């Protein structure tokens, strides 16, 4: 089945799952640029968004995406707990890569006042904190879109170890162009494009999220061992909850 045939199918949850399976077969050895180009054809130019944390590896996917089409909307979740260095890095990459449509999405103020008035939810219930600061805002931001692109890779381990290049997310399609890449591939994109590193990398941060739940990693640890250290939590929820 070709990408064009798959694109013509009618979207609902069952159809999205079938389309994702068929697309994953077609694209499972495709280059990241080919995956993004196919996503544009399948979903449609106005119905595809990329979700980026502007974290330590984000510049690589943003670079590949910008080379395909710098006007693809980029959704950035400004949780209220991000490092200042991440916000500054976002602005640097927007200018360097010529990104034309970066949308900084914030949590609903009324939800924060109701559920986290003292800004201590990250400590008492990190899942609830992620829900109101990331999951719900992303669900709102993705409402106009039929497909989205993420930067997850299998080498990150955990729930990501068996990641498909294309998967279903409710009625949406979710594309993971970097699923097959190794750390050396990411480094090569940075080097070839002369991409600036995230400012916190030099301080020992290899995976950067919200300030209270991000720590440095020690030699021999996985990059994401610095996220939610000491807890069983490994994901914020935007990749485990359906964004419908």
Instruction: Give the end-to-end CA distance of the chain in Å, rounded to a whole number.
Output: 27
Which are the contacts of 161, defined by CB distance < 8 A and separation ≥ 6? Answer: 154
**Which tokens is 194 given?**
């002369």
Contact 7, 42 (CB under 8 A): yes
* 213 a catalytic residue: no
Cβ–Cβ under 8 Å, residues 56 and 222: no
Q: Under the phi-then-psi rule, with left for phi > 0, alpha for psi from -120 to 50, and beta for the rest, what region is 104?
A: beta
Task: Characterize 5-39 residue by residue with b for buried, 16 or more Cβ atoms within 10 angstroms of its Cβ, and e for exposed.
Answer: ebeeeebeeeebbebbebbbebbeebebebbbbbb
Count CA atoms within 13 Å of residue 216 on its CB side.
7
Cross-sheet strand order for the sheet of 102-105? 102-105, 74-77, 48-51, 147-149, 172-175, 166-169
Catalytic hit among 129, 130, 210, 236: 236
**Which residues are known to be catalytic?**
236
């Amino acid at each position: 089945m070709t990408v064009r045939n798959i694109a013509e199918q009618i979207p609902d949850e069952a159809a999205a799952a079938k389309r994702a399976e068929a697309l994953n077969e077609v694209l499972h050895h495709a280059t990241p640029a080919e995956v993004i180009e196919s996503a544009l054809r399948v979903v449609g130019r106005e119905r595809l968004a990329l979700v980026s944390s502007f974290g330590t590896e984000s510049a690589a996917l943003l670079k590949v995406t910008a080379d395909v089409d710098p006007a693809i909307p980029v959704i950035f979740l400004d949780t209220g707990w991000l490092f200042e260095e991440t916000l500054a890095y976002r602005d640097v990459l927007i200018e360097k890569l010529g990104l034309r449509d970066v949308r900084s999405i914030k949590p609903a103020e009324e939800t924060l006042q109701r559920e986290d008035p003292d800004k201590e939810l990250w400590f008492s219930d990190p899942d609830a904190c992620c829900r109101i600061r990331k999951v719900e805002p992303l669900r709102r931001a993705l409402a106009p879109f039929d497909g989205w692109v993420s930067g997850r890779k299998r080498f990150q381990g955990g729930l990501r170890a068996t990641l498909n290049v294309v998967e279903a997310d409710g009625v949406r399609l979710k594309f993971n162009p970097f699923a097959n890449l190794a750390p050396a591939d990411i480094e090569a994109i940075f080097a070839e494009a002369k991409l600036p590193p995230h400012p916190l990398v030099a301080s020992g941060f290899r995976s950067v999220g919200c300030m209270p739940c991000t720590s440095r990693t020690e030699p021999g640890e996985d990059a994401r061992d610095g996220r939610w250290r000491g807890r069983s939590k490994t994901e914020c929820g935007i990749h485990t909850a359906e964004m419908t």
